[in-house]
Amino acid sequence: MGFPASLPPRIPVSQYPDMLNLAWTIPLFPLTACAVLIFFGARLYRRYGETVGWIGVAGIGATVPLALGCLSELIMGVAPAGGQIAWAHLGQVTLTVGYYVDALTAVMLVMVAVVATCIMVYSIGYMHGDEGYSRFFAYMSLFCFAMFTLVLSNSLLLLYVGWELVGLCSYLLIGFWFERKVAADAAKKAFITTRIGDVGFAIGILILFGYVPTLQYADVFAAAEHGMIPSATLAVATLFLFCGAIGKSAQFPLHVWLPDAMAGPSPVSALIHAATMVAAGVFMVARLFPLFYAAASAPLLFGLSPLLIVGFIGLITALMAATLGVVQTDIKRVLAYSTISQLGYMMTTLGLGAVGFTAAVFHLITHAFFKSLLFLGAGSVMHGCNDETNMFKMGGLARKMPYTYWTFWVGALSLAGVPLFAGFFSKDEMLSAAWTRAHGEVIYWLFFLGLEAAAFLTAFYMGRACFLTFSGRPRSHEAEHAHESPPAMTVALMILAFFAVFMGWIGAPWLGGNLFHKFVYFTPGIHAAGHAAPASFNWVVAGISTAMALGGLLAAASIYLWKIVPVDLVKKPLYPLYVAAKQKYYFDTVYDIFVVWGTLGVAHLCRLIDTYIIDGLVRGVGWIVPAVISQACRLVDTYVVDGLVNYIVLLGCLT
């Protein structure tokens, strides 16, 4: 991922069709769709009915060939391309906005375009009959625009802009069914929680701006690599930047918004809260990896380098969310916690350093496919069961919804990391990276073991979800009368299921030795020490993680499918943990008391101070000063003026 030291304003045209130089047009397609739907959506809807949804599909579908074009050009060896325009003038400095497409950006572009297209097609069926039909596609298109902007940016400035805009779309879409209080609350919570992280992000940018007043990646990276930024400052800056990623990628301790975000429609959960937006935090760390890497030598808190802190936050998140996933009853919440956990995985891997870079990005891509598949599957289940989300009220859906059933299992196996499925290859690479690092430094054993434990839990809760939902007998009226979803939905499921299997194979060892490695990788700068190649396939690691995956699935099967192990046998000894997990480890409670009510309390205190003390002072002065002056005047008038007059008169009389 080598950036040129500074970008020429125009890149020389290559002999290939010039897709890379057209990459900046990609966001414009969904933006146009959004504008059409916002301004004319209601009118078009009255006239053409639900055909308007295809405007959204067209807007995002048009980006697929462009994104693929960019990717293939880069694969063919064309140099990364970019361009920019002046945006703001600050003294003699000019802030620019621009785009830059390299391997990392290109794979993200393709991922977003393909996943979003599938989800849009699915939404045609899923949103059928909803009052806000055209509004839904308008917001989804706006989201795609924002996400492309974020991915294509060549500077921290535009990254931040895209970052906040995806946050807006997330807000609008979580609260899509705004009449429901749960949805409106969740939307607000998501926006504010991520904004807390974004303050950190902003401070990071402010620190860097003092050294590199252009905010362009190329310049910032060059400054970091050439030591123009003191390493301690750089370390602080990267940590602040990472706060943004903690918020957006729902990492501990700002993960609380993501499970609630499931109040939005399922396609939203699939696109935004699983596949793309929440991965933006991981993308950001990957994109700014040269900074994190350059700061790696600067010990910060407790002697930990920024990357190690990233790793630990990721590890805590991965384990914590995995345990929470085990106790959920709501099918979408299982997937939500699983998303948090998997994002933690990616962060942990990035925290391993250069050796984990490729693996984390690879998992980001494969995860996008199988997790969006799972969410769409859950949406299909809800669609068939009259919006029931409680898995304990489902059961026996396998025969009623066969397409959903098979594709959901594909997604689940991929997520669990069963061999030959996409998730296996990417997860295995992450674990190999940890394994490699652990042989150098002991602390990384913690990472390896933690991730393996999380892998077991992942397989367990996915098995649990699948068995509860699809196997056994129907446990409610809804489940009994469930029906398969319309073709628009099942086709999208099948396309995604295809990717959830074969996407991983580009990282497989036997296809010319891991194609993904050869394309997306991190090259440490000239001054950075200790070059590390991406970890290669390792049979020991693969064996351990396969055992974990199968073990988790078997454990789930023995409890929930075969019922040979009663639930209480597991629940009893772990009861305190179970209660705590049911209460989401009390994060929401603590935040409610200290942050929400605390802030509101302070706000009301300030209001009272303002009314009674500050304005009271003003009114007091306004009351006292005239009173004093008038009294003083009266006294002066009575005694001095009048007295003087009397005196003079008296004097006059006397003389």
Partner 1 sequence: MPILSIMLFLPVIGLTLILFMHKERQVNLTRATATFFAALTFAASLAALGMFRWQVATMQLQEKVPWIDSLNINYHLGVDGLSMPLILLTTLLSLLAIIYSWRIEERVKEYMAFFLLLETGMLGVFTSLDFFLFYIFWEISLVPMFFIIGIWGGPRRQYAAIKFFIFTLIGSLAMLLAILGLYFASSPHTFDMMALAQQNPLAGAGLPAALIFWGLFLGFAIKVPMFPFHTWLPDAHVEAPTAGSVILAGVLLKMGAYGFIRVSLPILPEASRQFAIWIAILALISIVYGALVAMAQNDLKKLVAYSSVNHMGYVMLGVAAAAFLRPGGDSASFLVSRTTALNGAVLQMVAHGIITGALFFLVGMIYDRAHIREVDGFGGLSKQMPVYAGITMLACFASLGLPGLVGFVAEFMVFLGAFGSFKIITGLALLGVVITAAYFLWTIQRIFLGPLNRQWAALHDMDGGELIALVPLCALMVVFGVYPRPLLLIINTAMEALVNHMDAVHSAAASLSHLL
Binds partner 1 (CB under 8 A): choice among 9, 65, 210, 530: 210
Total residues in contact with partner 1, by rule CB under 8 A: 49
Q: Is 583 in the site for partner 1 (CB under 8 A)?
A: no
Least distance to partner 1, CB of residue 145, Å: 10
Part of the chain binding partner 1 (CB under 8 A), chosen from 9-17, 205-213, 291-299, 559-567: 205-213
Binds partner 1 (CB under 8 A): choice among 19, 202, 237, 555: 202
Tokens of 395: 């059961």
Residue 96 β-bridge partners: 86
Q: Is 591 in the site for partner 1 (CB under 8 A)?
A: no
By CB neighbour count within 10 A (0-12 exposed, 13-18 middle, 19+ buried), where does 89 fall? exposed
Nearer to partner 1, 147 or 359 (CB): 147
Least distance to partner 1, CB of residue 330, Å: 22
Binds partner 1 (CB under 8 A): choice among 115, 173, 205, 352: 205
Nearer to partner 1, 179 or 568 (CB): 179
Least distance to partner 1, CB of residue 237, Å: 11
Least distance to partner 1, CB of residue 219, Å: 13
Which amino acid, 483?
Answer: H
Nearer to partner 1, 193 or 269 (CB): 193
Residue 467: how many other CB atoms lie within 10 Å? 20
Which of the 8 DSSP states describes residue 213? T
Q: Are 315 and 348 in contact (CB under 8 A)?
A: yes
Q: H-type helices in 385-486, by residue range?
A: 402-416, 422-438, 443-470, 477-480
Least distance to partner 1, CB of residue 131, Å: 9
Q: Is 213 in the site for partner 1 (CB under 8 A)?
A: yes
Of 254, 240, 249, 250, the closest CA to residue 292 belongs to: 240
Q: H-type helices in 212-353, by residue range?
A: 217-225, 231-248, 257-260, 266-270, 280-287, 289-294, 306-326, 331-351
How many Å separate Cα 551 from the centre of its chain? 30
Q: Is 136 in the site for partner 1 (CB under 8 A)?
A: no
Nearer to partner 1, 199 or 590 (CB): 199
Tokens of 37: 């739907």
Part of the chain binding partner 1 (CB under 8 A), chosen from 11-19, 160-168, 260-268, 335-343: 160-168
Q: Is 232 in the site for partner 1 (CB under 8 A)?
A: no
Binds partner 1 (CB under 8 A): choice among 28, 192, 304, 550: 192
Q: Residue 22 contacts by C-beta under 8 Å, 6 or more apart in sequence?
A: 66, 69
Of 80, 61, 74, the closest CA to residue 4 belongs to: 80
Nearer to partner 1, 540 or 614 (CB): 614
Distances, alpha carbon 177 to alpha carbons 123, 167, 230, in Å: 15, 17, 49
Compute the distance between CA of residue 573 and CA of residue 276 in angstroms, rounded to an integer: 38
Least distance to partner 1, CB of residue 152, Å: 15
Question: Is residue 27 reached through a cis peptide bond, with omega within 30 degrees of 0 on the bond before it?
Answer: no
* Degrees to nearest 5, angle at CA 324 with 322 and 325: 65
Tokens of 207: 């620190």
Least distance to partner 1, CB of residue 162, Å: 8
Q: What is the dihedral of CA 437, 442, 443, 449, to 10 degrees?
A: 80
Q: How far apart are the first and last CA of the chain?
A: 110
Q: Are 54 and 21 in contact (CB under 8 A)?
A: no
Matching residue, tokens 């996933």: 325
Q: Is 87 in the site for partner 1 (CB under 8 A)?
A: yes
Compute the distance between CA of residue 293 and CA of residue 444 in angstroms, rounded to an integer: 17
Part of the chain binding partner 1 (CB under 8 A), chosen from 110-118, 175-183, 267-275, 388-396: 175-183
Q: Is 161 in the site for partner 1 (CB under 8 A)?
A: yes
Residue 98 β-bridge partners: 84
Q: Is 98 in the site for partner 1 (CB under 8 A)?
A: no
Nearer to partner 1, 177 or 498 (CB): 177
Part of the chain binding partner 1 (CB under 8 A), chosen from 67-75, 208-216, 573-581, 627-635: 208-216
Q: Is 88 in the site for partner 1 (CB under 8 A)?
A: yes
Nearer to partner 1, 165 or 438 (CB): 165
Binds partner 1 (CB under 8 A): choice among 3, 122, 139, 171: 171
Compute the distance between CA of residue 45 and CA of residue 65 in angstroms, rounded to an integer: 28
Which of the 8 DSSP states describes residue 390? B
Part of the chain binding partner 1 (CB under 8 A), chosen from 71-79, 177-185, 411-419, 509-517: 177-185
Tokens of 368: 């996008």
Q: Is 203 in the site for partner 1 (CB under 8 A)?
A: yes
Residues 397-426, interacting with partner 1 (CB under 8 A): none
Least distance to partner 1, CB of residue 599, Å: 7
Residues 598-627, interacting with partner 1 (CB under 8 A): 599-600, 602-604, 606-607, 610, 614-615, 618, 622
Q: Are 186 and 272 in contact (CB under 8 A)?
A: no
Nearer to partner 1, 606 or 648 (CB): 606
Q: Is 498 in the site for partner 1 (CB under 8 A)?
A: no
Part of the chain binding partner 1 (CB under 8 A), chosen from 114-122, 453-461, 597-605, 637-645: 597-605
Residue 49: how many other CB atoms lie within 10 Å? 10
The length of the chain, given as a count of residues: 655
289-328 mask for partner 1 (x: CB under 8 A)?
----------------------------------------
By CB neighbour count within 10 A (0-12 exposed, 13-18 middle, 19+ buried), where does 304 fall? middle
Of 466, 333, 355, 343, the closest CA to residue 411 belongs to: 466
Q: Is 56 in the site for partner 1 (CB under 8 A)?
A: no
Contact positions vs partner 1 (CB under 8 A): 86-93, 160-162, 164-165, 168, 171, 175, 178-179, 181, 184-185, 187-188, 191-192, 195-196, 199, 202-203, 205-207, 209-211, 213, 599-600, 602-604, 606-607, 610, 614-615, 618, 622
